[in-house]
């Protein structure tokens, strides 16, 4: 009787998992952006921005480093699981495993080709879109044929997190960036949003219809920027960086409706990470965290910040009690909470609809 019950339970579990996936009209998750979502595309590049060594990945499914700049999963990973899909493999190692999504993101990248040069090599957002179009044309279409490949493309979610490096590691890079001399902050932001729209147009032209555009986080609150700008008081951040991120986010959110109208058949969601991360830093205890302004990985220098989390360094004892995993990137606990908010939160979290609602369209 016991083995029979085990078999029945297993079949029920499979049935529930299948039903979960069938509730959503999403074929795949394609991921674009920077180190907040990179899953390993920089691993074999001549780049200073790499995370393919422990302790990165120590809390991941395999407990091994993958190239993710986190102790575990990233926001798109949590969303893929919600949809009953496999985690999107990194583009550089995907091979033929492309039908449930691919991650094209690259640490250090931005909207502009000039962004992130301090890290040496990376794939900019325009290059990432090039890679997607190559995968769609050479891999997915070869497997499914043109009609079914187009259907897969139109039913996929395109998750994009980009813009942080354009500000922190380009326009506001110390000493003064050439772009800061050439453009006012307002004109530079317009330049970024114009490039953002251009890349969305390219994805739309390749069949993309469901887009999630993640906001910039509270850039001025990351441990590396607290160190860089000598902010010592707990709960305080670098105001001008947060103000720049907030302005970018406001314009990106306002563009969602306009861009949806200019891209026929598209549905675009603005996912707000800024407000929650800012509140976590200011009031960590209110959300069950102990430390909001120090990095769990490194613990070297003021605010626990250093250029990067070091190879095999001793980390904090309890990763889940820290808002920041390393000097710039939130912990996987934060990513999971953001994913929950994006998935079924209010319009304050996801605008004008949440990702769960997007997934049924």
Active site residues: 35, 326, 329
Helix or strand run (H / E) with residue 270 = strand 267-271
Residue that the structure tokens 């769990």 belong to:
296
Bond from prior residue into 55 cis (ω within 30 degrees of 0): yes
Distance set, CA 189 to CA 105, 250, 253, 284 (Å):
21, 11, 13, 31
Query: Could you say which DSSP state residue 68 is in?
Result: B
How is the chain split among helix, strand and coil, in percent rounded to 5? Answer: 45, 10, 45
Contact 122, 49 (CB under 8 A): yes
Nearest Cα to 160, choosing from 136, 192, 185, 187? 192
**Residue 297, strand partner residues:** 315
Distance, C-alpha 230 to centroid of its chain: 27
Bond from prior residue into 76 cis (ω within 30 degrees of 0): no
CA atoms within a 13 Å half-sphere pointing along the CA-CB vector of 287 = 20
């Amino acid at each position: 009787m016991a083995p029979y019950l085990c078999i029945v339970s297993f079949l029920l579990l499979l049935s529930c998992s299948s039903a979960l996936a069938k509730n959503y009209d999403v074929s795949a998750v394609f991921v674009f952006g920077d180190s907040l979502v990179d899953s390993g595309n920089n691993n074999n590049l001549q780049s200073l921005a790499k995370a393919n060594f422990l302790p990165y990945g120590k809390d991941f499914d395999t407990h091994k480093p993958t190239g993710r700049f986190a102790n575990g999963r990233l926001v798109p990973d949590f969303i893929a699981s919600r949809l009953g899909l496999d985690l999107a493999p990194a583009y550089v190692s995907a091979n033929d495993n492309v039908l449930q999504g691919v991650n094209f993101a690259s640490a250090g990248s931005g909207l502009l080709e000039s962004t992130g040069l301090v890290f040496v090599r990376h794939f900019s957002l325009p290059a990432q879109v090039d890679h997607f179009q190559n995968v769609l044309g050479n891999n997915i279409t070869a497997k499914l044929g043109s009609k079914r490949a187009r259907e897969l493309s139109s039913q996929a979610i395109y998750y994009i997190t980009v813009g942080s490096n354009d500000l922190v590691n380009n326009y506001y890079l110390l000493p003064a960036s050439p772009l800061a001399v050439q453009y006012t902050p307002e004109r530079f932001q317009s330049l970024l949003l114009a490039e953002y729209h251009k890349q969305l147009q390219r994805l739309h032209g390749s069949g993309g219809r469901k887009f999630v555009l993640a906001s910039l986080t509270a850039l001025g609150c990351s441990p590396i920027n607290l160190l860089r700008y000598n902010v010592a008081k707990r709960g305080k951040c670098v105001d001008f960086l947060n103000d720049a991120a907030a302005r970018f986010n406001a314009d990106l959110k306002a563009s969602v409706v306009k861009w949806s109208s200019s891209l026929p058949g598209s549905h675009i969601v603005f996912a707000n990470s800024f407000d929650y991360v800012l509140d976590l830093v200011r009031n960590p205890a209110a959300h069950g965290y102990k430390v909001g302004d120090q990095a769990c990985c490194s613990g070297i220098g003021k605010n626990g910040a250093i250029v990067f989390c070091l190879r095999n360094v001793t980390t904090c004892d309890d990763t889940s009690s820290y808002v920041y995993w390393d000097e710039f990137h939130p912990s996987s606990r934060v990513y999971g909470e953001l994913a929950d908010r994006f998935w079924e939160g209010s319009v304050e979290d996801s605008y004008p609809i949440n990702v769960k609602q997007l997934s049924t369209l």
